Structure 1
Amino acid sequence: MNLTEEASELPIPIHTVSLLPPSTPSEDIQMAIIAALRPHISNKMPMRLLAFNYAGSLVQLIGRDEMFRLILQRAYAEAVRSRFQAEWAEAGQVASATKTVAAWMSERRRKATLVSELVEHHTRYAILSHAWIRDTPGDVVYTDWAARARNPRGWRKIAKFCEVAARRHGVALAWMDTVCIDKSSSSELDEAIRSMYKWYRGAYVCIAYLAETRALRDMDRDAWFTRGWTLQELLAPHDIRFYNMDWEDLLVRRGTDPPPEPAAVVSMIEEKIGWATTITSDELALCRRGEVEKIPISRRLQLAARREVTREEDAAYSVMGLLGVDISVAYGEGAARASFRLLRELLSSKKHVLDIFNHDYRRPSGNTLVPFAIQDYLYRSTAFDFSGVDAGSSLDHWQPLEPIVLTHLGVRVPLLLFPSLRASSDADLNQPYSPKGDFSGSVTLYQYQKSYNLLDKRLYADNEPLSPATSIHEGDYAPLIVTFGLLNFSVEKGDIVLPYQGFSVPLDCGPISPGDVHPSDSIKILKAVTAAVLQLRSTNKKNRVSVGELKKHGIQLTTLYL
């Protein structure tokens, strides 16, 4: 069934009072439409919408009950047309002729598809992404709807949005956060915030209004790209169109002669988005396809860390949808508590969680793997990222030895400990050092501008621990001994499988004695720009070792609370 006819042909006016149009479809069609429409509105539509005619005028603010009545009228009007009636009759002809179970099931599926397409078409809505007016009186909000005429500037934004949605995108329903959420109701606000990503994803089109932009060349400097909530509004929709301050479509508006091809304009817009946000065209493509989960968690949090919010808790609330998690809204709890609950939910609900620890360890956020602020993700390692069709993180290929749990003591996490000795000079780095066993490697801590040799045998003289005070090298501000806690490893049939590129956190464990399990409260996470990247090598060129031989190589398997 083709439902792409011009909006101007749709005859049902918004202010029709009666429930049914003059001509109604048969009872079975009515029941099928009602059965499909009710759950669609309840589960896929915003709780409140702006409704208008197909010229964008006669704007009303309606709830779900009014929404149901209005859309039902439009669907009924479509269903009595000859084209729908013919397709409905055709779907039943085969079943009537053959009278087989297979034919009957085919009829049901075809009729269900017809009704589903009908409902999808008439429930299309546009959604607005914008930066709120910061002057007084600002935007028209829900509680001011009845007095909207007293705020000409705020009302003009609503009116132009509805006009653009109707005339340029052929829809007669729309949503914008200012007037469609009753923020005086805590339950309604909570539902709206939890559902917002889904609403942006489900919109027929997202209209991004850049109030500080006149031409495409200025687009990347618009404040829209700095706001916290507009990040998900940029990434969630399957179709987003950018409009300038005069409500002109930047994809259509031409500023050169001859005008560039549409594909070239799209490329220019993506380039501007990249300049403003660092979001790549590959990442945008993933989001348009609904594959945001392929972007590493820490990268999504890094994008959020660049944004500004008015209410501090919104730094966490505004990324719930992008992360695919759900937490209750509790304004007043503070940014640290909101971020903690967000990360706790990630750890408890996601299968692949190691990338959560890929953040900046320089801030004095305590002895914990979980940061206190989303801003700590501003600096993260890109060493484990994939791009293109293989987008994601190599850390997702490693299943932890046991569940990683966030407790009151910290994150309970299995680690492989690699004691390491500071290299004193370039000569140490250029000459192979002697490891205790078959495994060696090096890692640089850029916070100290020092490199460390993994499992240096001098740490294990006669199996006795080397004291940090032992003077092998001249002491300075950089620690002499650092233990790197490796997170991305797995166990297969009694063997530890090691990565060639390890994801680890630098630790101060005190004296090193292989086989001893150090109490967590005596271990300190060292400050570092990002989690440390280990380059592991083995003399036998194998990336696995039996659990029973770990001590032989100076490696320790333990579980810590960090």
Structure 2
Amino acid sequence: MDDKYPQRLEEFEQYVMNHIPIRLIRVSDMEFVGRDDMRKHLKPSVPKRDNGGYRPSVHVKYAILSHRWLASGEPTYEEMKAGKAAGPGYEKLTKFCEQVRQHKLEFAWSDTCCIDKSSSTELDESIRSMFRWYRNSRICIVHLAQSETIEDILLDEWTRRGWTLQELLAPLYIKFFNKHWTPMTNDPNDKGEEENTKILRNLEKATHIPRREIYWKFNPGPFKVDERMVWAAERRTTRIEDVAYSLMGIFGVSLQIAYGEGGDRAFCRLIDAIMQAGDASVLNWKGEAARHHTSDAIPRSPKSFMDRRDLKLANGRLEMTMTGLGLRVPLVILPLNLPLGMVKGTGNARITFNCLLYPTIKVDITVDNSSVHGQYQYALGIINYSLVRDRSREVLGIQGKSVGFPLKCRREPERDQSVSSTTKPRATGFETVSDLDQIFGQWRKIRQEGLIEVNFPTTPNDPMFYISRKYLEIVYL
């Protein structure tokens, strides 16, 4: 026994307790096998000696099922444990296990019966771990109950359910079976070695997910949020909170499961967790904001991303923190000027603003034209900027193709002119100011507007222009 054996044993224990499902079905007798049983079963396989520098790993090879649940009759954990499972759902499970045996695997997992849903702790862990369990499976067997041919995939409800999104993306190996449990292709892996297979082309049409995201090993994480949210926008879930919970694995975040909290609150928590990574794509949405208690920067659902603009967002992290005042984010504030002659109207109107720093730049913004615009100050809050050291000072580097939020803040009533500034000065920061004519409220995102792109003039040798750091402000959206 070499001196690395205790380390191997510890790694094995960590793997069993954290990277495989809580329980599996042993397909030889349809009995449950828990993690402790699996640990005892495989512990003798952990190598005690190093065989020439290569240390084989010990993995549990199991198949996992992806399917559309029946309206009723799926086997439960309690029925399986009591040996009383029966009906069409159990028949589907046995057909799945037959395919598992044909793939020469000993263990299988199905979400219908392998989770003890009476245990909130187990349910919480299972939902949080689901993406990882599908990713670590030896193969994912997909049963398309509404399809006979590959063409039928376009109309199969499996492509429009919330949870099946991650069940398509997470596994490295997938095999599709039709309603009669007949393989839909002759390939051992329907994610295939060729990107242009017929089944991948139909999956792309049905799900609107680019083939490269299905074909290549999908990389989960809180980036390309606007693109990935669109994949989920038209999918449905039975429980409204599952709209958010089913996306945790895709974005690489974790939420406490709290059925009953409501879909809006669950989705707000999902967006909040994604925002902590700082990828600005999470801000690229349009429409009504969520009913959040402090912020107007949270979208209502994945559908909010469907009308997003096609923007080239720069790489890099944007500091975003949810606070009691709203989403705290540092933005470069470029004042906008409302053109002369703008009159009050009714309803929403598309109005062209001038940028005060670059008067030739025009910014089109949809605003509430019934408002008295003289009461507001407008600005563009740029998100893709950089801090640049220029000799002895720090300046802001603004890209020629800049992306930002249209913002407005209300002008508060002028202070009482009858009060002498010498007798009633106004304190701001470390200075005493006595000549303020206007006091402005907080910057707010203009309703219905999302991120917009503005092209600033730059030189051929430098795709950026540079302005003073004083234009960088902390705002609460």
With over 3 angstroms needed to count, the CA separation of the structure-2 counterparts of 1:436 and 1:530, relative to structure 1, is: closer
2:418 equivalent to 1:503 = no
Of the three residues 369, 373, 389, the one matched with 1:468 is 373
* Structure 1: distance between partners of 2:2 and 2:261: 53
Of the three residues 234, 241, 255, the one matched with 1:306 is 234
Q: Which secondary structure does the structure 1 equivalent of 2:197 belong to?
A: helix
Look up the equivalent residue of 1:171 and give its one-letter code. Answer: L
Residue in structure 2 matched with residue 183 of structure 1 by the alignment: 117
Of the three residues 23, 26, 32, the one matched with 1:61 is 32
Of the three residues 200, 210, 213, the one matched with 1:283 is 213
Identify which range, 180-189 or 480-489, moves more after superposition: 480-489
* Structure 2: distance between partners of 1:43 and 1:161: 25
Which structure: greater strand fraction?
A: 2
Structure 1 unaligned runs (5+)?
1-25, 80-84, 92-106, 254-261, 385-393, 426-432, 451-466, 471-479, 551-555
Identify which range, 190-199 or 487-496, moves more after superposition: 487-496
Q: TM-score, normalised by structure 2?
A: 0.79
**What is the CA deviation profile of residues 95-145 of structure 1, one whole-angstrom value per residue up to 9, with x for unaligned ones?**
xxxxxxxxxxxx5x43xx13x1xx22xx111111111111x3x21011221
Report the CA distance between 1:249 and its aligned residue.
1.7
Of the three residues 17, 31, 43, the one matched with 2:18 is 43
* Structure 2: distance between partners of 1:530 and 1:293: 23
Residue in structure 1 matched with residue 441 of structure 2 by the alignment: 519
Q: Which secondary structure does the structure 2 equivalent of 1:537 belong to?
A: coil
2:462 equivalent to 1:536 = no
Q: Which secondary structure does the structure 2 equivalent of 1:220 belong to?
A: helix
Counterpart contact for 2:284–2:451, Cα < 8 Å: yes
Residue in structure 2 matched with residue 124 of structure 1 by the alignment: 61
The within-5 A match list for 1:313-392 is 313-348=241-276, 350=277, 352-362=278-288, 365=291, 368-384=296-312
The within-5 A match list for 1:63-462 is 63-72=34-43, 75=45, 91=51, 107=52, 109-110=53-54, 113-114=55-56, 116=57, 119-120=58-59, 123-134=60-71, 136=72, 138-146=73-81, 151-167=86-102, 169-252=103-186, 267-285=197-215, 288-293=216-221, 296-348=224-276, 350=277, 352-362=278-288, 365=291, 368-384=296-312, 394-395=313-314, 397-400=315-318, 403-421=319-337, 436-438=356-358, 440-445=360-365
Counterpart contact for 1:298–1:377, Cα < 8 Å: yes
With over 3 angstroms needed to count, the CA separation of the structure-2 counterparts of 1:509 and 1:543, relative to structure 1, is: same
Report the CA distance between 1:489 and its aligned residue.
1.0
Look up the equivalent residue of 1:411 and give its one-letter code. Answer: L
With over 3 angstroms needed to count, the CA separation of the structure-2 counterparts of 1:373 and 1:290, relative to structure 1, is: closer
* Structure 1: distance between partners of 2:87 and 2:207: 32
**What is the CA deviation profile of residues 59-98 of structure 1, one whole-angstrom value per residue up to 9, with x for unaligned ones?**
211211222333457x49xx8xxxxx9xx79x3xxxxxxx
Look up the equivalent residue of 1:413 and give its one-letter code. Answer: V
Structure 2 unaligned runs (5+)?
342-352, 413-436
With over 3 angstroms needed to count, the CA separation of the structure-2 counterparts of 1:59 and 1:31, relative to structure 1, is: farther
Report the CA distance between 1:405 and its aligned residue.
0.9
Look up the equivalent residue of 1:353 and give its one-letter code. Answer: D
Report the CA distance between 1:485 and its aligned residue.
1.6
Q: Which secondary structure does the structure 2 equivalent of 1:145 belong to?
A: helix
Q: Percent identity?
A: 29
Q: Which has the larger radius of gyration?
A: 1
Q: Which secondary structure does the structure 2 equivalent of 1:45 belong to?
A: coil
Q: Which secondary structure does the structure 2 equivalent of 1:498 belong to?
A: strand
* Structure 1: distance between partners of 2:444 and 2:357: 26
Look up the equivalent residue of 1:221 and give its one-letter code. Answer: L
* Structure 2: distance between partners of 1:340 and 1:498: 30
